[in-house]
Amino acid sequence: MAQRFVYIPSKLDTSLVDKRTISFTWFSGFSKSQKQKSIKSFHEAIFKATGFRRILEISSNSENPLGVEMSAFNLKTSFGPKKASVECFYQASKVFDNGGPFLDLIDKSSLDAKTDLRLKENGRLQYFLFEGEKWGLNEGFYDWLYMNALLENEQIRNQLLEYEGFTDIAFNPKKSFNCQAYSAALFISLIRKNIKLDFFGRERISEFKSLMNEFSNLEDQLF
């Protein structure tokens, strides 16, 4: 058995994303077919636990072309003259104890950007620096990048509204703290709560940070 999260846009006024832990049968192996068996098992378990059928796996292993297209490796966004994947912008913005940001990663492939040795050889990750704006590790930088990309892709954005929840079979919270499935659920939650999305422009970053902090504090009060 394995456990993973399903991310559901929250209907509560006090939260944005409902994160639920689901146990399911895991199919070992590195082949895409084995991973897709695990995804199918995962989604069947989600249905039994929640009654939700419309669940989108967002990763390169998804059987749904939309899920593949929405992988941070494939989903692209633009800033100034640069257009690159969410993954490349994210990795290129990391600042460590002894180095960074490594802006040349923007021009690499998503895989090369993620596996660049400098990201492992320069100490601990301290913060993100993107176009002159400093982001703390818990200020939603990845979510902001990902949702900017969704704002640029209307066709993808409209299809997302059809789904009740989102998964990423490869996400391991012990190894990373950002998840593309969470970002998608967050985006849909903001739309359904009628929260205007125009604050995602670079000049309104502080409003985005304040919003994330506000809901984070509300969620903390629930426990």
Q: What is the pLDDT of residue 203?
A: 67
Q: What is the pLDDT of residue 217?
A: 56
> Hunting for tokens 């378990």 — which residue is that?
45
φ, ψ of residue 83 to 5 degrees: the values are -125, 125
Q: What is the pLDDT of residue 99?
A: 97
Torsion, Cα 132 86 109 176, to 10 degrees, reads 90
Q: What is the pLDDT of residue 221?
A: 40
Q: What is the pLDDT of residue 223?
A: 32
Gap between the Cα atoms of 28 and 123, Å rounded? 32
Q: What is the pLDDT of residue 13?
A: 84
**Exposed / middle / buried, residue 203 (Cβ in 10 Å: 0-12, 13-18, 19+):** exposed
Gap between the Cα atoms of 135 and 139, Å rounded? 6
Q: What is the pLDDT of residue 208?
A: 87
Structure tokens at 104: 């040349």
Q: What is the pLDDT of residue 173?
A: 81
CA 109 to chain centre: 18
Q: Phi-psi bin for 69: left (phi > 0), alpha (psi -120 to 50), beta?
A: alpha
Q: What is the pLDDT of residue 7?
A: 97
User: What pTM, to 2 d.p., does this model score?
Assistant: 0.92
pLDDT less than 70: residues of the chain: 198-203, 217-223
Q: What is the pLDDT of residue 196?
A: 76
Structure tokens at 111: 């895989």
Does residue 181 contact residue 167 with C-beta atoms inside 8 Å? yes
Q: What is the pLDDT of residue 200?
A: 60
Q: What is the pLDDT of residue 201?
A: 62
Tally of helices (H runs) and strands (E runs) in the chain: 9, 9
Residue 173's DSSP bridge partners are none
Structure tokens at 180: 């593309």
